[in-house]
Structure formats: structure tokens, C-alpha cells
Amino acid sequence: MDSFLNNFPKRMKNVGSYAFLFKNSMSKTTWKQYGFEDFYEQTNMIFIVLLFIMEQSLKDEPCTMDDIGGFIDMVNMRSFKKPISYMECKELGDFIINVILGNEGKVMYFKGYDFQEEGYKDIHISFINNKPVYIDDEVRRTSYYLTDDGYNLMLSTLEMESNMLLTIHEMIFKLHIEKASYDKAVDDIKNIFNQMRIQYQRIREAMRKIKQNALSYSVLDYKILLEDNLETIGDTSKKFSGYRENIRERVRELEDKDINIQKLDKEDTKNLENLKIIENYLSRAIDEHQQILKTHFELKSLYTKELEDLSQMTLIKRFNLRTELYDKVLKNPESLRNIEYFIRPLLNQEVDKIYNINKSVEIQKPIRSRLKDEDEEVLEFDNEQWQEEKIAKQREKLKLYNGSLSVILAHAHENNGISLKNLKEGLNGDYSQLIPNVEIFKEIVIELLRNEDIDIPELKKERSEHIAENSALEFQLNESILELMDSNPYLEDIKKISTYRINDETTVIFENVNSSAGKIKRIYCSNIYFDLI
């Protein structure tokens, strides 16, 4: 077999990343709702969002759907100038994240031919992941960040091998410093710092995977990561310290010139400003180097310990609790006097014998904050099983949405229009179907009020003209209305649904309704009128 085909699956992984992006984006009519008609516009927007997520990931800052929507809105107002509102920008961000990058919640596998094994090989691809974050230590939100595949995709757009980026950027940085092209050197040092931050995050992500299941992290991945760490560490600190001293000397020269000789001209002023930025990033790069060095040894220690623990598991003698304990106790109840000998080993814990001096100088956190940090750990389960359970839960939740909406439409149809107050009275205290939980009812009412007038023939026409797509199993008001009309013949004559507030200052109160958190609540609503034409 020709040697140049040995790494063919690796090449196909890179090709598969682009293939999934374009497959998930092309022929989607959703783009046209926001004014992005052409394929090149859509592709540019996808990579703009990816770059924003990468920037937030590198800065270790939250990247919630609100942040993504606000960023798209800013870029649109400044550059694209599409006639869309902030809420539509947020909806567009949700479409890009969940449909295009997230593949509608389905796991992405691309088949690449392996010439060594003589068969197609499933190559897993994942661009983004998410984790819970707390905004102002109170509000829980979902934050998105790039996976290794996401980083590799973005780095590949620079037409450079990822393991060569740091070296190449450092060479270019050194040349620009020698030529006094400080404006270009600023971009170089930022790229160097970003590469080091990516390497640090790769180590942290590897440690997270090892903690979840050391066997899921292959020895080859571990070897590659260690080699990358050693290449990054190398003599980076010494070289960067030398660069920093050189930059500081040039800063002092310009500052002395400004104070003692003459005022700096525009070019020298700009150079001084760029030199200070470079000095700052060099200091940060040296700090990042120390973090990589520290986590490098932590990774080695963690991987060794986890593998040792797994190897010891094979030495543990297992027994059947019923036959070895319950049955014997039932035969001889007197043996319960000695039950402590059986239970005591279960309560033994390994004593920490090493004092970590770093803990004594760490910033102390309240117990509540520490518990929140622990809550952020994500356990890894079987991907396919988890996806099936997730889809089943989404279907059940969608049934609750449709059930609530059907109650509103049925009573409005029966009474030729109905107010929320009269609807409540007609239910005689049984709100379980109308309000399965507070959050679902609130979302349905807000969507009805936001749309105000819904033209049913127009919705049906739009559905007939568009190519059918796989449902993301998320509640969409228009789709739910059409689905209910298809399954309930008595609703077929509806042409228009109008929802508006009644200005009578009446407050409709629902007692003892459930929230999604399982709490019993009382909710107060303005009186709303649902009109069917």
C-alpha cells in the first residue's frame, strides 16, 4: 500500500468538517427569513459566529445565546445592514448554533476510508460544546465553546498546520520587531498568546475527559498532547523574557525622547503605544507558559493515577449482596450484631498525604460558589443512548406545548373568541392541560402576543412551498398551529388567529400551578383576548 494513503482518515476528518457545515446550511430556507439569500453570505455568517465563540473561549468568558444574538446584531448593523431586529438576530444565532453547528442535536459521523483496515471508518465530528454558567452568581445560562474539532477548523482556515502555528508566528513576530513594524508585531504576539491559550485549554479538556473515563482517552492522544506541550514549553519562557526586555528598552528610549528631547511625532507615538501592547501580551504569554507547565505535570500525574485506579479495579473481589448478606442474615438474625465488620470497609476513604501549598494562597470562595462550580462538571454517557433519551424528552415537552395551545384554540373556536378570564372560568379550576407548567404557558402566550395576527392560509402556503426538513423538536408556534389544525377537523375553517390585550385592567389569577422546577406557584396575567376568524 502506498504510504501517502496512511493518514487518509485524518484528511477526511478535515474534509468532513466542511462537508457537514455546508450540508447543514445549504437548502435551508430559514436563511431567507433573515435576508441572507446567497450561499456566500450564509457561509460568511457561520464563520463569523464561530470566530466569536472562539474569541470568547480563548478569553474564558461566557458565550450565551444572548451574547451571540447581540454580536450578530452589532455586525449586521455595522456591515451587513439586513432589515432584521435584535430578536431576529438572536433567532438566527439559535439557528446557526443548534441546526448548522449542532446538527439539530444529532451526532455527526463522517465516513472516511481507512486503507490500512480496508474499510470505511466512522469519524466523529463536533464543532461546539456547552456548559452551564452563572451570570452574576445567580442566573443560570448555557455557554457555548469550541471543541478540538472547532479549533482545528478555525485554525485550518489560516492555511497552517496547528502544531507549526506557534513557531511560525514567533518567527514572524521576531522579524517584525527587527524591522520595527510594531503594528504588525502586535497581531503576531496576539496570535502567539492565543495559541498558548488554546494549548492550555486542550490540556484542561483532556484532564476533564480523563476524570470522566480514562479509557476513553487514548494513549495516542495523550502522547500527541504531551509532545505538543513540550514543544510549546521548550525554551519559550527564556525567549519571551528576552523579547520583553528588548521591548522594554525600546519603550524607555521613546519615553526618554518624549520627556527630555522633543515631543514624539505621530509615528513614534503610535510605535510607543504598540510597544506597550506588545509588552503586555509578552507578560501574559509568559504567565500562560507557566500555566501550561503546571498543568502539563498535573495531566501526567492525573493520567497515571486514573490508570492505576482502573488496574486495581480488576483485583477487587465482587460478591452478590443478596446471597452473601441478606440470605445469611435471614437465616441467622444474630449475625446483625457483627454487621459493622461488613459495613466498615465501605466507609474507608483514602487519606490525603500530600499538602498542596498552592491551596493556601488561592482566593477563598464561599461554599455556595464552590458547589456551583462542582455542578458544572458534565458526566459522559453513551452518546447514542443520551441522544435518544434527549429526543424522547423533547417529544414529551412538545406534547405539553401542543396540549396547552389546543385548549386555547378549542375554547376560542367554541365561543367564537374568548378572553383569558372567561377561559379560566370555563375550566372550573382544572388548569393541568392549559398550564402544564408556568414556563410553557408563559412562552405560548408571549409568542401569540408577539405574532398578534396569524394568517392561516399564508402559513399553509409557506409550508407547501418549502422543502420539508427534519424537526428540531423545539416548540414553534406556527408549526404547532398547523399540526393541531391537521389533527382536529373542526379547526379547519379558521382563517386567522388574533391575540391582543384587553384594556380593562383586569388581572387573571391562576392558583396552585406547577413550575418546571417542581414548585407550586400563583401567577398573575393581564386579561388577553383570543379571536378566531
Confidence class of residue 429 from pLDDT cuts 50, 70 and 90? confident
Among the ranges given (158-162, 424-428, 450-454), the one the predictor scored with the smallest mean pLDDT: 158-162
* Separation CA 405–CA 408 (nearest Å): 5
Confidence class of residue 90 from pLDDT cuts 50, 70 and 90? very high
* Same domain assignment for residues 101 and 11: yes
Among the ranges given (23-37, 86-100, 365-379, 417-431), the one the predictor scored with the smallest mean pLDDT: 365-379
Q: What is the CATH number of the domain that holds 218?
A: 1.20.58
* Same domain assignment for residues 221 and 187: yes
Biggest CA–CA distance in the chain, Å, is: 101
Residue 448: what pLDDT? 83
Residue 473 in this model has a pLDDT that exceeds 50: yes
Confidence class of residue 317 from pLDDT cuts 50, 70 and 90? low
Confidence class of residue 77 from pLDDT cuts 50, 70 and 90? very high
CA dihedral over 425, 427, 429, 432, signed as positive or negative: negative
Which residue, among 186, 158, 161, has the nearest Cα to 172 in the 3D structure? Answer: 186
* Same domain assignment for residues 272 and 234: yes
* Separation CA 11–CA 4 (nearest Å): 11
Give the relative orientation of helices 148-156 and 162-178 as an angle to the nearest 10 degrees.
Answer: 50
Is 142 inside a domain boundary? yes
| Among candidate residues 316, 351, 375, the one where a domain is terminated | 316
- Domain extent, residue 140, equals 1-156
Let me know: does 68 contact 52? Beta carbons within 8 Å. Answer: yes
Residue 75 in this model has a pLDDT that exceeds 60: yes
Is 338 inside a domain boundary? no
* Same domain assignment for residues 168 and 75: no
Confidence class of residue 45 from pLDDT cuts 50, 70 and 90? very high
Confidence class of residue 262 from pLDDT cuts 50, 70 and 90? low
* Same domain assignment for residues 200 and 254: yes
Confidence class of residue 258 from pLDDT cuts 50, 70 and 90? low
What single-letter amino acid sits at 57?
Answer: S
Residue 344: what pLDDT? 76
* Separation CA 102–CA 126 (nearest Å): 8
Among the ranges given (19-23, 87-91, 254-258, 393-397), the one the predictor scored with the smallest mean pLDDT: 254-258
Helices (H), 26-60: 30-33, 39-58
Residue 501 in this model has a pLDDT that exceeds 60: yes
Q: Percent of the chain scored above 90 by pLDDT?
A: 12
Residue, of 238 and 30, whose pLDDT is higher: 30
Give every CB contact of residue 491 below 8 A, 6+ residues apart in sequence.
409, 413, 484, 485
Residue 89 in this model has a pLDDT that exceeds 90: yes
Q: Angle at CA 105, nearest 5°, toward 103 and 398?
A: 125
pTM of the model: 0.42
Residue 466: what pLDDT? 58
Residue 131 in this model has a pLDDT that exceeds 80: yes
* Separation CA 56–CA 259 (nearest Å): 39
Is 339 inside a domain boundary? no
* Separation CA 63–CA 55 (nearest Å): 9
C-alpha count within 13 angstroms, C-beta hemisphere, residue 532: 18
Give every CB contact of residue 102 below 8 A, 6+ residues apart in sequence.
127, 128
* Separation CA 122–CA 506 (nearest Å): 60
Is 379 inside a domain boundary? no
* Same domain assignment for residues 89 and 182: no
Let me know: does 278 contact 240? Beta carbons within 8 Å. Answer: no
Residue tagged 418549502 (cell numbers): 466
pLDDT in tens, 396-416: 888 888 888 888 888 888 888
Residue 470: what pLDDT? 45
* Same domain assignment for residues 141 and 185: no
Domain count, the chain: 3
Among the ranges given (281-290, 339-348, 466-475), the one the predictor scored with the smallest mean pLDDT: 466-475
Phi, psi of 179, deg, nearest 5: -90, 5
Confidence class of residue 377 from pLDDT cuts 50, 70 and 90? very low
Determine which helix (DSSP H) or strand (DSSP E) holds 222, and give its type and residue range: helix 219-233
Residue 465 in this model has a pLDDT that exceeds 70: no
Confidence class of residue 50 from pLDDT cuts 50, 70 and 90? very high
* Separation CA 522–CA 273 (nearest Å): 59
Q: Percent of the chain scored above 70 by pLDDT?
A: 85
* Separation CA 181–CA 172 (nearest Å): 11
Residue 101: what pLDDT? 92
Helix/strand/coil (H, E, C) string of 123-192?
EEECCEEEEEEEECCCEEEEEEEECHHHHHHHHHCCCCCHHHHHHHHHHHHHHHHHCCCHHHHHHHHHHH
Residue 380: what pLDDT? 47
Is 352 inside a domain boundary? no
Give every CB contact of residue 416 below 8 A, 6+ residues apart in sequence.
532
Residue 261: what pLDDT? 46
Mean pLDDT estimate for the chain: 80
Residue 181 in this model has a pLDDT that exceeds 90: no
* Same domain assignment for residues 10 and 120: yes
Give the relative orientation of helices 39-58 and 148-156 as an angle to the nearest 10 degrees.
Answer: 120
* Same domain assignment for residues 180 and 301: yes
Let me know: does 514 contact 438? Beta carbons within 8 Å. Answer: yes
Residue 489 in this model has a pLDDT that exceeds 80: no
Phi, psi of 415, deg, nearest 5: -105, 10
| Among candidate residues 316, 331, 355, the one where a domain is terminated | 316
Is 65 inside a domain boundary? yes
Is 329 inside a domain boundary? no
| Among candidate residues 316, 337, 370, the one where a domain is terminated | 316
* Same domain assignment for residues 101 and 173: no
Helix/strand/coil (H, E, C) string of 278-320?
HHHHHHHHHHHHHHHHHHHHHHHHHHHHHHHHHHHHCCCCCCC
Average pLDDT over residues 271-288: 84
Is 360 inside a domain boundary? no
* Same domain assignment for residues 215 and 100: no
Cα-Cα-Cα-Cα dihedral of 432, 436, 442, 445, to 10°? Answer: -60
* Same domain assignment for residues 146 and 178: no
C-alpha count within 13 angstroms, C-beta hemisphere, residue 53: 29
Residue 424 in this model has a pLDDT that exceeds 80: yes
Average pLDDT over residues 385-396: 78
Give every CB contact of residue 271 below 8 A, 6+ residues apart in sequence.
180, 182, 254
